């Protein structure tokens, strides 16, 4: 019963996170670091942001298998259906707000901050559920556990690498910078802080939901 409750909560968090990603993307100030490569690819090719997100996620899962080898557990394969679901959630939420096209910078900034807030809350819900991690975080965990690096610093380096690679890819495809802007930096800095903030002010929730 508790496991069912945790997975249900995780799915809710996953959907909220996807809506946050979509809102940040629609703000048109650059998307979140982990979504920057899929977004740039979606601008240059006919596949959607969600579909490219699935491809990147599967690639990161494959890298985890290579890094962890025998330490890659069977339950880690749950990342595969979660990645597919997350990709489709992103496309669905992008469809929900397809008519939202902010033009004024202040409106774009408000949408960006709202998206960070929503994404941060979604991440908090996913952490609260404590059943499976998305491939981005799982890849960082695999690297930090294999080479004994600090998880937080490794996450910063990972986000930076995703952003730089997306920027380079944008110049190759469009000879200009698309999909990576100041909003990418804001999202990278703000989402984790917001998730931790929700964790602090809602620390009473977990004992009420689960047997802890």
Of the candidates 22, 9, 133, the one whose C-alpha atom is nearest the C-alpha of residue 82 is: 133
Q: In whole angstroms, give the CA distance from residue 87 to residue 40.
A: 15
pLDDT value for 91: 98
**By three-state DSSP, how is residue 176 classified?**
coil
Pair 117, 19: CB distance under 8 Å: no
Q: Are 38 and 52 in contact (CB under 8 A)?
A: yes
Q: How far is the C-alpha of 174 from the C-alpha of 7, rounded, in Å?
A: 41
Q: SS3 for 202?
A: coil
Predicted pLDDT of residue 212? 64
Non-local CB neighbours of 124 within 8 Å, separated by 6+ positions: 13, 194, 195, 198, 199, 202
pLDDT in tens, 24-66: 999 999 999 999 999 999 999 999 999 999 999 999 999 999 9
How many helices, marked H, and strands, marked E, lie in the chain?
9, 0
Taking the model in full, what pTM does it have?
A: 0.93
Mean pLDDT of the chain: 94
Positions in the chain whose pLDDT score sits under 50: none
């Amino acid at each position: 019963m508790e496991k069912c409750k945790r997975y249900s909560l995780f799915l809710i968090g996953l959907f909220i996170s996807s809506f946050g990603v979509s809102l940040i993307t629609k703000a048109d100030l650059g998307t979140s670091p982990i979504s920057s490569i899929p977004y740039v690819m979606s601008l240059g090719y006919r596949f959607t942001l969600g579909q490219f997100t699935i491809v990147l996620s599967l690639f990161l899962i494959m890298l985890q298998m290579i890094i962890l080898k025998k330490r890659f557990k069977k339950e880690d394969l749950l990342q595969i259906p979660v990645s597919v679901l997350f990709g489709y959630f992103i496309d669905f939420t992008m469809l929900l707000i397809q008519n939202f096209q902010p033009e004024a910078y202040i409106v774009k900034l408000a949408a960006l901050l709202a998206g960070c807030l929503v994404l941060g809350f979604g991440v908090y819900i996913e952490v609260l559920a404590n059943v499976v991690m998305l491939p981005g975080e799982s890849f960082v965990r695999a690297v930090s556990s294999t080479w004994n690096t600090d998880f937080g610093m490794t996450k910063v380096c990972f986000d930076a690498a995703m952003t730089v690679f997306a920027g380079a890819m944008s110049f190759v495809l469009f000879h200009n910078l698309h999909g990576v802007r100041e909003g990418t930096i804001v999202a990278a800095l703000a989402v984790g802080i917001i998730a931790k903030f929700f964790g602090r002010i809602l620390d009473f929730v977990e004992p009420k939901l689960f047997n802890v």
